[in-house]
Amino acid sequence: MREIVNRQLLLVARPERAVETRHFAMRELPVPEPAEGQALVRVQWLGIDPTQRTWLNAQETYIPPVPLGTVMRGTGVGQVIASRSQLFDPGDWLVGPTGWQDFVLADGDGVRGFTKIPDGIEPRAMLSVFGVNGLTAYFGMIEIGRPEPGQTVFVTGAAGGVGSIAGQIARLNGCRVVGSAGDERKCTWVREIAKFDACVDYRRERLGERLRELAPGGLDIVFDNVGGEALEAALHHIAHGARVVLSGSISSGYRDAAYGQGPANYMQLAFKRARMEGFVFFDYAAQFPAALHQMLAWVRSGDIRYEETISTGLETAPAALAGLFHGRNLGKQLVRLF
């Protein structure tokens, strides 16, 4: 029988452009033993997020880069298999900073440490609708977008983890919601399952023209995950007093020191007395419990739907991360380890 080991993916080279498997190396170590106060977790799911690409760059962004030669940073979900902690019992499901590896020692509790997942919640949903995606969508839309009934909202990356939920939150606040996504299959999901009013296939259609048709009165809120041409097209169609929510700029590729070009038409913000504001979801940590309470109610009532794309095997994590930049995912990209 094969000995059980802890497989880890280490970052061994910083990508200049796209992420490739060769930027990582697999290492096998003995499964660690929990010390007093620690619990041993077997990781089952990794959440794959575009921002992980920014952590591979040498320059610091909102957190330091992943050092070369260390386990790739990432959030995951796993089950406690041995415990010397007062906080966690064997069998508990935890979410936290597992990194890209099969086993991890958990010794904390709280927003950035490991947290026990309450019974009744599908553990891997803590990586999507009840985790980074749902919280980003919630705080970006509610706190910065400030939707009001009857307003028109445009969401880029509408078939992705964050965008799909952001648009549904706007709909639940009485808004008319238009999305954009990279192919017709995604747009069909956005319209029929996520129940946006419209979705533009930005690769096949002219986004600017379609926005003029779909939002003749202008866009009151733009929730932008993409940046670049999509943001420029949206800025051309903002309404007076619009709020442009800067969630991300994935079209830039998140390469080192190249997180997107300034939109050429940013003066539209002045002409329309509009506001563009960026945010990072964890700044709202104090309000997470209230937001999660609301998200849980919406998911249980069926008002919010979410989708997942799953790849299997720790070794697939680099390709899963690269795939986000090619639109290979519908909804949250996850990696299943066992």
Ligand X SMILES: NC(=O)c1ccc[n+]([C@@H]2O[C@H](COP(=O)([O-])OP(=O)(O)OC[C@H]3O[C@@H](n4cnc5c(N)ncnc54)[C@H](OP(=O)(O)O)[C@@H]3O)[C@@H](O)[C@H]2O)c1
Q: Which residues make up the interface to ligand X (CB under 6 A)?
A: 49-51, 132-133, 136, 157, 159-163, 181-182, 186, 225-226, 247-248, 250-251, 279-281, 324-325, 327, 329
Rounded to whole angstroms, the Cα distance separating 101 from 181 reads: 32
Report DSSP letters for 128-180, one per residue: TTTSHHHHHHHHIIIIII---TT-EEEESSTTBHHHHHHHHHHHHTT-EEEEE
Query: What's the min distance (Å) between Cβ of 178 and ligand X?
Result: 14
Residue 230 vs residues 202, 277, 296: alpha-carbon distances, Å: 8, 16, 31
Nearer residue to ligand X within complex by CB, 237 or 332 = 332
Query: What's the min distance (Å) between Cβ of 39 and ligand X?
Result: 27
Nearer residue to ligand X within complex by CB, 132 or 170 = 132
Write out the H or E segment, with its range, that includes residue 323: helix 317-324
Nearer residue to ligand X within complex by CB, 34 or 134 = 134
Query: What's the min distance (Å) between Cβ of 108 and ligand X?
Result: 21
Tokens of 227: 């940046």
Query: What's the min distance (Å) between Cβ of 162 and ligand X?
Result: 3
Rounded to whole angstroms, the Cα distance separating 277 from 245 reads: 5
Query: What's the min distance (Å) between Cβ of 22 and ligand X?
Result: 21
Alpha helices in 153-307 (DSSP H): 161-172, 184-192, 207-214, 228-235, 268-271, 288-300
Nearer residue to ligand X within complex by CB, 226 or 335 = 226
- Quote the DSSP letter at residue 308: E
Query: What's the min distance (Å) between Cβ of 329 and ligand X?
Result: 5
Nearer residue to ligand X within complex by CB, 50 or 99 = 50
Query: What's the min distance (Å) between Cβ of 202 and ligand X?
Result: 7
What torsion do the CA atoms of 134, 297, 222, 219 make, to the nearest 10 degrees?
170
Contacts of 127 (CB under 8 A, 6+ apart): 45, 46, 47, 75, 76, 77, 95, 133, 332, 334
For the stretch 275-284, what's the b/e string if a residue is b when 16 or more beta carbons lie within 10 angstroms of its beta carbon? ebeeeebeeb
Nearer residue to ligand X within complex by CB, 102 or 308 = 308
Nearer residue to ligand X within complex by CB, 76 or 163 = 163
Query: What's the min distance (Å) between Cβ of 263 and ligand X?
Result: 14
User: Which residue matches tokens 């939150």?
Assistant: 169
Q: Give the distance from CA 177 to its chain's centroid.
A: 20
Nearer residue to ligand X within complex by CB, 103 or 298 = 298
